Amino acid sequence: MMLPLELRAASFRDIIKPLSLQIEAGPSTIILGANGAGKSVLMRLMHGLLAPSSGTIAWRRPGRHAMVFQRPVMLRCSALANVAYALRVAGEDETLAMGALKEVGLAQLADRPARVLSGGEQQRLALARAWALHPEVLFLDEPTANLDPSATREIETIIRAFDAAGTKIVMATHNLGQARRLGDEVIYLHQGRVLERASVDQFLSRPASAEAAAFIKGELPWVS
Amino acid sequence: MQEFPEILLDGRLWQIVLLSLQVSLSAVALATCAGLPLGAALAVGRFRGRDSLIVVLNALMGLPPVVVGLFVYMALSRAGPLGAFGLLFTPGAMVIAQTILILPIIAALSRQAVEDAWREYDEQLRSLGAHGLRAALTVLWDIRFSLLTSVLAGLGRASAEVGAVMIVGGNIEGVTRVMTTAIALETSKGDLPLALGLGLVLMTIVLVLNAAAYLVKEAAQRRYG
C-alpha cells in the first residue's frame, strides 16, 4: 500500500501556498474549488508532474498512480494501440489492452483511430489506459468538464468501478452534484489554501467557512 | 537546335534530370538524418544557449546558396582543409553543399513542429511514464506526417537552387550538370528550347512530389485524426 500520501508544507510558486495534507487510503477524495483555486496544480504536484517549490511530497511506499486529464491526449493510432502503448511503457503485457477497453465499453471501437473518437469516448479511452495499469491511486482532473450529461454519467460509472476495484480516487471538480455522487470527503481549496476538509454531506450542508458557503451557493444558485 | 517538344526525347536532358534528382535527394536524406534529431533536441532540450541556437538556425534558413557554395568550394579546393579528398567538381561536392544549405531549414521547421506537439503531449507522456528519448521518439513518430512538410521544404530548396551547385560542381557536361545550372547556361547561350524543357521538367517534378506529400498527409489526417 503506497498510501498515505503526505504533503509537508508543500507549495508551488504563489499558486499553492505551503500546505500540509495527508491523503489516506479508502474514501474517495474530492478536491473542490473555484477556477484558479489551484486544484489542477495540486493534482499535478501529487501526481509528480510538478515539483513543489518548497516542502515535500512523499508516498509511504513507491507504487503506481495514474492520472486522467480534463483533455486527454491520444496518440495518432487506434484506441487499442493507445492502451497498448501505456502498457508497453509501464513494462506490462500489451495483450491486456483489450480487456481494459471492454471494461469501459469501447471494445467495438478498438480499431478506430483514437483521435476521431468523440470527447466522451476519448475520456473513456483515457480511463481504459489508466485501468490497464491497475493503479493504486487514480487522479482525475475535472474529467467531465467538457462532456455532456450522458457522457458524464458513463464516465462516473467507470470511476465507480475503479473505486469498487479498490483504487483510491482523488478527483478535482467544481461540480457539486458529481462530488456528492462520487465522493466521500471534500478538500476545499481557496486561493491556494485548504480552507476545509470534511465529509461530503457535512461540507455541502454545513460548510464551516464563509468562502465555501459562498462557493456552494454560487454553484447552486437555485438553493437559497 | 532542336525545337521545344522534341527536346524532351533527348537523352542528354534525362541524364541531367537524373543527376539533379540524385544530388538533391541525397542531400535531403543526409540533412533529414541530421536535421530531425537536431530539431527535436532543440524543441525538447533545456540547455544554455538554446535560444541563441534557435535564432541562428532560423536565420540560416535564408542562407544564400552562393555563399554556401563559396565556403564549400574553399574547404574542398586543393589548398583547403578537405582538399585531399578530391571532391571538388564532383556530384559529391554538390551533395555536401546542398546538405549544408537545407539542414537549417529541416532542423528549424521540425523544431517548431516538435515543440508545438511537445506542449500538447508532455504531461500525458510523463504521466504514463515515458521520459527522455522514449517520449521524444513517441512524439516524432506521432507527428511524422507533419515532419514530411519540413523535409519537403528542404527538397524544394535543394532542387531549386543554382548558386551552390554551380560553384562547387562547375556545371561540367555529363558529370556535374544539373537542371538548374543547365537552365542558366542554356539561357545565356540562347538555347531557349532546352532551357524551357528543363524548366518544365523541374517544375513538374516539384509539383508531383508536393502533390504526393499532400495526399499522404491528407490520407494520414483522415486515418489517424
Which one of 1.10.630.10, 1.10.3720.10, 3.30.420.40, 3.40.50.1000 gives the CATH number of domain B4-224?
Answer: 1.10.3720.10
- What CA–CA distances, in Å, run from A3 to A24, A185, B23? 6, 16, 62
pLDDT at A59 over 70: yes
Is A113–B223 a contact, with Cβ atoms under 8 angstroms apart?
Answer: yes
Q: Tell me what the mean pLDDT of segment A133-155 comes to.
A: 95
ipTM confidence: 0.91
Asked if the model's pLDDT at residue B210 lies above 90, the reply is no
CA separation for the pair A68, A50 (Å, rounded): 15
pLDDT in tens, B118-135: 999 999 999 999 988 888
Give phi and psi for A128, each to the nearest 5.
-65, -40
Question: Which residues of chain A make contact with B116, given a CB cutoff of 8 A?
Answer: none
Interface contact flag, A89 B124, Cβ < 8 Å: no
* CB contacts, 8 Å: B135 with chain A: none
Q: How far apart are CA A194 and CA A176, in angstroms?
A: 17
Tell me what pLDDT residue B194 has. Answer: 83
Among the partner-chain residues B128, B143, B224, the one whose CB lies closest to the CB of A113 is: B224
Segment holding A137, helix H or strand E: strand A137-141
CA atoms lying within 13 Å on the CB side of residue B224? 18
The grid coordinates listed for A121 are 469516448
Burial of A146 (0-12, 13-18, 19+ CB in 10 A): middle
Q: In chain A, positions 122-141, which contact chain B (CB-CB < 8 Å)?
A: 129
Average pLDDT of chain A is 94
Q: Which residues of A touch B121 (CB under 8 A)?
A: 73
From B216's Cα to the closest Cα of chain A, the distance in A is 15
d(Cα B171, Cα B167) in Å, to the nearest integer? Answer: 8
B83-98: b or e for each residue (b if 16 or more CB lie within 10 Å)? eeeebbbbbbbbbbbb
pLDDT exceeds 60 at position A223:
no
Which sequence spans correspond to the domains of chain B? 4-224
Q: How confident is the model at residue B166 (pLDDT cuts 50, 70, 90)?
A: very high
- Closest residue in A to B130 (Cα) is A89
What is the model's pTM?
0.84
- A49 and B120 within 8 Å at the Cβ level: the answer is no
